[in-house]
Amino acid sequence: MKGIIMLGLGDFWISLVWVLVILSTLLCVVYGALNWNKESEEDAKILEEEKRWEREEKRIEETL
């Protein structure tokens, strides 16, 4: 009982805060796991632009 009072779990609002902190932590972990190594659209555009640039450079070198 002393440990519960020490954490403030005797009060409803403090208990609610603890529950919300744990839930938000779980939400962040799930969000991170779902988006792990997910490529953004901007990264895909940059990669495509680099590929196009390399093809153009190769074409120019062949014509020289």
- pLDDT tens for 15-26 read 899 999 999 999
Q: How far is CA 19 from the centre of its chain?
A: 22
- How many whole angstroms separate alpha carbon 61 and alpha carbon 26? 54
pTM given for the model: 0.53
A 10 A CB-CB count for 64 gives: 4
Question: What's the pLDDT at 53?
Answer: 95
* pLDDT at residue 11 greater than cutoff 90: no
**What is the C-alpha to C-alpha distance for residues 7 and 14, in angstroms, rounded to an integer?**
8
Closest residue by Cα to residue 22 from 34, 7, 5 = 7
Determine contact, residues 30/24, Cβ cutoff 8 Å: no
Checking if the pLDDT of 5 tops 80, the result is: no
